[in-house]
Amino acid sequence: MEKQKNYEAYLKSTHRLGRIVSMITLVLLVGAPFMIGTLLGAGPDLGAVARGFLSVGLVWTVSSVVEFLVYTPMLGAGGSYLAFITGNLINMKIPCAMNAKELVDAKSGTAENEVIATLSIATSALVTIVVLAMGVVLLIPLQPVLQSPVLAPAFANVVPALFGAMAYKYYRKDPLLALIPLTVMIILFTLVPSLTSSTSFMIIPAGALAIALAWVKYRRETKGAAE
Amino acid sequence: MSVLEQLNGGGVYLICGSIVAFIAVVCVIFMVRAWRAGKALGMDVTRMKRAVTASATFSVLPSVGILLGVLALSGSLGVPWPWLRLSVIGALHYETQVADAAAEQLGVSLGSGQMTAQAFPTIALLMSICIMWGMILSTLFNKKYLHRLQQGGKNEARTGGGFGDKAMAAMFIGMVSAYIGSYVGGWISGSGLFSFSGSWTPLAVVAAAALAMAVFTYFSEKKGMAWLDNFSIAGSMLVGMLAAVLIGH
């Protein structure tokens, strides 16, 4: 009882803190271009910003809504406030938190998941901040090594490497469930190759299909268990 | 002094560095609070340590990839701004696309040394505005949304449910399928419908990383080397990336 009370107080203060730091970050990030503009002696062209927003911003706005709806339950309160502040969601934070959650066997929506996801996202963000800060300090000596043609294919393939590892991890849980979305995606990308430039948006139908199939299977299993 | 030199100046470093430092402090605060909450809940400290270690090792390689993004954008936007954007909030594919769209509106091109004093704040502002919605939605709806889900979860638990975890795993299966589907499609039709002459490197990288993951899983599950789990994703990625280097040469 005492533990539950403490946890609820923790959640309440996490929401308060999350809202405050999100708003401060927002003001800092929107304010920074104006401050840098002052140093350069010029302000932003707001007309061009509006036109640019209409051309690409709306797509990213829709994507943000979907990300919010999908990832918030995965990450819980603390994890999601931090993840939306620190970014790099699909390519790092989400798989990182899922990996940590798997390792300690934390179930979604539980207090344990809330704690693990927050620890995971905070650690991941700090590692990125440290690596990038060190990289920036060492930028000049590192540049020839990291940008060498020998290593170029490695860094151009970070995302396939990530998804290869994740594929084994998740497909083995339910190979039959994986087969249908994978086949559908292969057919779609083969027949409409231009979709490759919108892969991040194709996650939505692929995810919806996989969830629908998982739901059908789940209903069948629970119905079978009830009978 | 050129615009790029100004963008790499101390003033811009100070502005961007202060924001990065602020976010780092926020991360530490959240981390300490979560750790204390976990202990108060009676969670096993070893498991929490394991989550932290695994997350740290997991994040090193992608962070190096992100660092390359800073390098890639530094030629046109200077070092401090891409450093800020990619340290916090941003993602390389997004930042590059938005910066390019903003440059297009201004009639300049990224990476061609055409950056002007007015173009930079415009590009930077668009980058900030386009990706602020996650934070805004979180601020406005996070509490209400999670509360509603929790109520739903309680009802589900009462009826013997538990679809949440299955749905999350399914979402991941869908996500992985979309990416692997794009690599297969790119190979089959990337250079012309059914020409089978597109790049197969990403597919080989996927296969190498998956194979490495299978090896890691075998040793951790069958040979009692559970500690290997902490390095399985990062290690598999490294194998996949190594495969890309070998194919490239």
Q: Per residue in A88-131, pLDDT tens?
A: 887 789 889 999 998 888 887 789 999 999 999 999 999 999 99
**What is the pLDDT at residue A147?**
63
Mean pLDDT of all residues in chain A?
Answer: 87
Q: For residue A41, what pLDDT is reported? A: 92
On chain A, the residues whose CB falls within 8 A of the CB of B29 are 17
For residues A162-188, give the mean pLDDT.
92
In this complex, which of A41, A84, A155 lies closest to B68 when CB atoms are compared? A155
ipTM of the complex: 0.75
Q: Give the DSSP H or E segment for A69.
A: helix A58-86
Q: Mean of the pLDDT values across residues B204-228? A: 91
Residues of B numbered 84-143 whose beta carbons fall under 8 angstroms of chain A's beta carbons: which are they? Answer: 84, 86-94, 97-98, 101-102, 104-106, 116-122, 124-126, 128-139, 141-143
Q: How far is B171 from chain A (nearest CA, A)?
A: 5
Rounding to the nearest 10 degrees, give the CA dihedral for residues B135, A120, A158, B137. -10
Provide mean pLDDT across the span B8-13.
91
Q: How confident is the model at residue B153 (pLDDT cuts 50, 70, 90)?
A: low
pLDDT of residue B22: 97
Provide the shortest C-alpha distance from residue B226 to chain A (in Å).
9
Closest Cβ opposite residue B244 in set A26, A68, A154: A154
Mutate to test the interface with A, among B47, B100, B142 (most CBs of A within 10 A): B142
Would you call B64 an interface residue with chain A, using a CB distance cutoff of 8 Å? yes
Lowest mean pLDDT among A2-11, A20-29, A71-80, B222-231: B222-231
Candidates A66, A217, A159, A154; CA nearest to B176 is A159
* Residue B160's pLDDT band (cuts 50, 70, 90): very low
Q: What is the pTM of this model?
A: 0.75
- Tell me which chain B residue has its CA closest to the CA of residue A49: B126
> Which residues of chain A does B135 touch, with a Cβ-Cβ cutoff of 8 Å?
22, 25-26, 84-85
Helix (H) or strand (E) holding B225: none
In this prediction, residues B151-165 reach a mean pLDDT of 54
* Contact by Cβ (8 Å): B238, B223: no
Question: Choosing among A130, A166, A183, A219, which should be mutated to test the B contact, i.e. which has the most B CBs within 10 A?
Answer: A166
| Long-range contacts of residues A101-106, Cβ cutoff 8 Å, at least 24 apart | A101/B51, A102/A169, A103/B47, A103/B50, A103/B51, A103/B54, A103/B229, A103/B230, A104/B47, A104/B48, A104/B50, A104/B51
Residue-level pLDDT at B156: 45
Instruction: Spell out the domain ranges in chain B.
Output: 3-131, 133-161, 162-248
pLDDT value of position A196: 82
B42 — contact with chain A (CB < 8 Å)? yes
Contact B171 A104 (CB under 8 A): no
C-alpha to C-alpha distance for A117 and B63, rounded to whole angstroms: 19
If you write DSSP's letter for every residue of B39-91 in order, what string do you get? HHTT--HHHHHHHHHHHHHHHHHHHHHHHHHHHHHHHHH-SHHHHHHHHTT--
pLDDT of residue B159: 38
**pLDDT tens-digit readout, B182-215:** 999 999 999 899 999 999 999 999 999 999 999 9
Question: CB distance A32–B122 less than 8 Å?
Answer: no
Chain A CB within 8 Å of residue B166 CB? yes
Identify which has the larger pLDDT, A137 or A158.
Answer: A137
Q: Is the pLDDT of residue B161 over 60?
A: no
The pLDDT value given to residue A146:
62
Q: Which range in A41-50, A196-205, B61-70, B85-94 is most confidently predicted, on average pLDDT?
A: A41-50
Query: Cβ(A88)–Cβ(B43) under 8 Å?
Result: no
Residue B220 to chain A, least CA–CA distance (Å)? 11
pLDDT tens digits, residue range A139-154? 766 666 766 788 878 8
Chain A residue numbers with beta carbons less than 8 Å from the beta carbon of B78 are: none
Amino acid identity, residue B37? Answer: A
B152 touches chain A (CB under 8 A): no
CA distance B197 to chain A (A): 12
Residue A24's closest CA among B243, B26, B244? B26
Tokens 């919806």, residue located? A208
Q: Is the pLDDT of residue A179 over 90?
A: yes
Residue matched to tokens 């040979």: B223
pLDDT in tens, B86-118: 888 777 656 766 777 777 777 776 655 667 888
Nearest by CB to residue B34, choosing from A86, A118, A153, is: A118
Chain A CB contacts of B3 below 8 Å: 40
B22-42 pLDDT, tens per residue? 999 999 999 999 999 999 999
